[in-house]
C-alpha cells in the first residue's frame, strides 16, 4: 500500500511538471526573428533585415564589435520598423556583429536571433560626400527654398521631406534633383512643421549618407 501511494505521488508530480511546461509554452507568444541579413553596407551605415513571425510591437537590435556578448554588452536600439538602417555612424573598415529579438509586450520578448557579422567599407572607397549645413529660406504658406553645402560634384541629390519627426529611412516623400537650391512646391500645407534631409548621388551604388535634419514651419 505504501509503495502504491509513493508511485501515485510520483505520477502526480510528473503530471504537474508536464502541465507547467505546457502552460509556460502557451504564454510564450513572441517568436524569435530568423534569417538576419545585412545589405547596403557603406563605410558608416548598413541596412539590417530579418524574417519574423506574427507582428510584434517592436524589435530590439544589439550591435557591437565582432565577438561581443549579447547578454552583457553591445549597443541597444528599439525600432518598430523593418528593415532598419543602422547609421550611428559606424566606423569604416570594422567588423560588427548584430542580433535582433522581437518585443511583443511588456515582459514578453523573444530569444535573440542568430548572430550576423558584417564589415563596413573603408573610408577610401567612399567617394560621395555627405551634404552639410541644410538650410531653408523664402518660406511661404505652401513653398520653401532648400539649400545645402556640397563637397565635390555629385550627379544629383535625393531630398526627403515630411511632417516633423518622420523616419528618413522608412517614410517621407522623395525627390530627385540635379539642381540646388531647390524650390519645394508640392504645395506644402500652411502652418505645418516639416523636416527635410538630403543626400548626394555620385553614381550607381555610390550614394552618401543622409545629411543632418533641417526643420522649418510654413506660414
- So what's the pLDDT on residue 97? 96
| Domain regions of the chain by residue span | 34-124, 127-217
Q: What is the pTM assigned to this prediction?
A: 0.50
What pLDDT score was predicted for residue 203?
82
The class level of CATH for 127-217 reads mainly beta
Say what the pLDDT of residue 71 is. Answer: 94
Tell me the pLDDT of the chain (219 aa) as tens digits. Answer: 555 444 444 444 434 344 344 344 444 579 999 999 998 888 888 899 999 988 889 999 999 999 999 999 999 999 998 999 998 889 988 999 999 999 998 889 999 999 999 998 877 655 788 999 999 999 999 999 999 999 888 999 999 999 999 999 889 999 999 999 999 999 999 999 999 999 999 987 788 889 999 999 999
Which class in CATH covers the domain with range 34-124? mainly beta
| Burial class of residue 105 in the structure, from the number of CB atoms within 10 Å of its CB (0-12 exposed, 13-18 middle, 19+ buried) | exposed
- Domains 34-124 and 127-217 in one fold: yes
Amino acid at each position: 500500500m505504501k509503495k502504491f501511494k509513493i508511485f501515485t505521488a510520483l505520477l502526480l508530480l510528473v503530471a504537474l511538471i508536464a502541465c507547467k511546461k505546457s502552460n509556460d509554452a502557451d504564454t510564450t507568444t513572441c517568436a524569435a526573428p530568423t534569417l538576419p541579413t545585412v545589405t547596403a553596407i557603406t563605410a558608416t551605415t548598413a541596412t539590417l533585415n530579418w524574417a519574423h513571425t506574427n507582428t510584434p510591437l517592436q524589435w530590439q537590435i544589439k550591435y557591437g564589435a565582432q565577438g561581443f556578448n549579447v547578454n552583457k554588452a553591445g549597443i541597444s536600439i528599439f525600432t518598430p520598423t523593418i528593415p532598419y538602417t543602422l547609421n550611428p555612424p559606424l566606423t569604416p573598415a570594422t567588423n560588427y556583429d548584430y542580433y535582433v529579438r522581437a518585443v511583443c509586450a511588456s515582459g514578453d520578448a523573444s530569444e535573440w536571433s542568430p548572430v550576423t557579422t558584417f564589415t563596413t567599407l573603408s573610408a577610401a572607397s567612399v567617394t560621395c560626400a555627405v551634404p552639410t549645413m541644410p538650410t531653408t529660406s523664402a518660406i511661404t504658406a505652401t513653398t520653401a527654398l532648400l539649400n545645402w553645402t556640397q563637397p565635390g560634384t555629385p550627379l544629383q541629390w535625393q531630398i526627403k521631406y515630411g511632417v516633423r519627426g518622420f523616419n528618413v529611412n522608412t517614410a517621407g516623400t522623395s525627390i530627385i534633383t540635379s539642381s540646388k537650391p531647390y524650390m519645394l512646391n508640392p504645395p506644402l500645407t500652411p502652418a505645418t512643421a516639416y523636416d527635410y534631409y538630403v543626400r548626394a548621388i555620385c553614381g550607381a551604388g555610390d550614394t552618401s549618407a543622409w545629411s543632418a535634419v533641417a526643420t522649418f514651419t510654413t506660414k
